């Protein structure tokens, strides 16, 4: 058994942070959950984790820990560049400088890779000017981290699982009566990251701090998914009905995005969200496999029944409209 460690997890009330808090308290580690909410969820405290009220962009932060897992951030396709930079870049810079640690594990994003049909590997040369604002902010945060010692960067893509309040409500919102309305042809090859596979990758970092220090790893499922199949299987399973897929021509969707931008209309349909689903996006995970022995044990097929069960007692319409009201894990 690995020795008990002090683990600080940021983003305590978020999807990934919540899963990690529950995971590492179950393993017996001393977990501190960092969040901005003055009153933490009761279920969080029941895990045995300590709760620390703090903002990564401010001074009030824990002084030290063994492992710092940084999941907090602003993941938005409608936020301004100033908002993204302040949270994702300045917040990361502030956190890594002020909290002493033996290993800083940064949960980055595949958005640091440009839109292309290439299979992205960690050694790809990246021009941040080719990225959307969110991807650029995550990339610049990575550059901040690499100036320090004892860090590991993980780049997942489309993290999914129970209690997801980001991707899932968007996909559920694509159902309109007996149709699935998509803004483009969804016959795309994509990588996705099961939340349990992400936990496995982080475990490998926690257990091999010296080996992973200074390294960057892609982390996704072994499977290459077809986006059309994923969305169809998810929606027909959740709603228990046959659905027809209707794709709006990509050119029309792009024109609508431009119109919404000019008129300053906030919409889930924007250039960033369109780029994310209307192109192939694959990650190479040979590095984490060869160096750490990573094995992808979970996939969409095995997780779908759990997602369906989790949603079974929910008002789907309310969940789509305001997923933030969902209780902590």
Q: What is the pLDDT of residues 276-328, one digit of tens each?
A: 899 999 999 999 999 999 999 999 999 999 999 999 999 999 999 999 889 88
Q: Structure pTM?
A: 0.96
CA distances from 249 to 178, 181, 262 (A): 19, 11, 20
Helix residue ranges per DSSP H, the chain = 15-26, 42-45, 81-84, 91-98, 133-145, 167-172, 195-207, 209-212, 227-239, 250-262, 271-277, 286-292, 300-311, 316-321
Instruction: Compute the distance between CA of residue 243 and CA of residue 191 in angstroms, rounded to an integer.
Output: 24
pLDDT band at 131 (very low <50, low <70, confident <90, very high): very high
Pairing status of strand 50-53 against strand 30-35: parallel
Q: What is the pLDDT of residues 186-233, one digit of tens each?
A: 999 999 999 999 999 999 999 999 999 999 999 999 999 999 999 999
- 222 and 192 in contact (C-beta within 8 Å)? no
Q: Tell me what pLDDT residue 144 has.
A: 97
Mean pLDDT value across the chain: 95
Over the stretch 91-122, which tens digit does the pLDDT of each residue have? Answer: 999 999 999 999 999 999 999 999 998 999 99
Residue 219 vs residues 22, 183, 240: alpha-carbon distances, Å = 20, 27, 32
pLDDT tens-digit profile of 60-96?
Answer: 999 999 999 999 999 988 899 999 999 999 999 999 9
189: tokens are 């090859």
Contact 286, 138 (CB under 8 A): no
| Mean pLDDT of the 260-264 span | 83
pLDDT value at residue 195: 98
**Which residues, at least 6 apart from 178, have a Cβ–Cβ distance to it below 8 Å?**
241, 242, 243, 244
**Domains in the chain: ranges and CATH:** 6-325 (3.40.50.720)
């Amino acid at each position: 058994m690995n020795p008990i460690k002090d683990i600080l997890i940021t983003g305590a009330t978020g999807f990934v942070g919540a899963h990690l808090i529950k995971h590492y308290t179950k393993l017996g580690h001393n977990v501190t959950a960092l969040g901005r909410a003055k009153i933490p969820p009761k279920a969080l405290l029941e895990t045995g984790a300590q709760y620390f009220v703090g903002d990564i962009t401010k001074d009030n932060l824990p002084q030290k820990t063994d492992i710092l897992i940084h999941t907090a951030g602003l993941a938005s396709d409608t936020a301004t560049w100033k908002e993204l930079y302040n949270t994702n870049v300045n917040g990361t810079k502030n956190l890594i400088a002020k909290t002493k640690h033996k290993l800083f594990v940064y949960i980055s994003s595949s958005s640091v890779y440009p839109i292309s049909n290439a299979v992205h590997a960690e050694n790809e040369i990246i021009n941040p000017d080719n990225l959307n604002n969110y991807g650029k902010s995550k990339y610049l945060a990575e550059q901040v981290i690499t100036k320090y010692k004892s860090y590991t960067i993980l780049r997942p893509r489309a993290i999914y699982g129970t209690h997801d309040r980001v991707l899932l409500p968007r996909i559920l919102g694509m159902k309109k009566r007996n149709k699935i309305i998509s803004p483009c042809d969804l016959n795309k090859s994509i990588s996705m990251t099961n939340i349990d596979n992400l936990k496995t990758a982080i475990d490998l970092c926690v257990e091999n701090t010296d080996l992973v220090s200074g390294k960057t790893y892609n982390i996704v499922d072994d499977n290459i998914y077809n986006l059309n199949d994923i969305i169809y299987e998810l929606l027909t399973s959740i709603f228990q009905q046959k659905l027809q897929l209707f794709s709006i021509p990509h050119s029309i969707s792009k024109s609508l995005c431009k119109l919404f931008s000019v008129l300053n209309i906030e919409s889930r349909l924007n250039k960033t969200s369109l780029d994310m689903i209307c192109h192939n996006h694959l990650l190479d995970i040979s590095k984490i496999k060869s160096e750490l022995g990573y094995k992808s044990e979970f996939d969409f097929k095995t997780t779908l029944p759990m997602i369906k069960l989790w949603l079974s007692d929910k008002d789907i319409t309310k969940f789509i409209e305001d997923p933030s009201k969902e209780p902590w894990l």
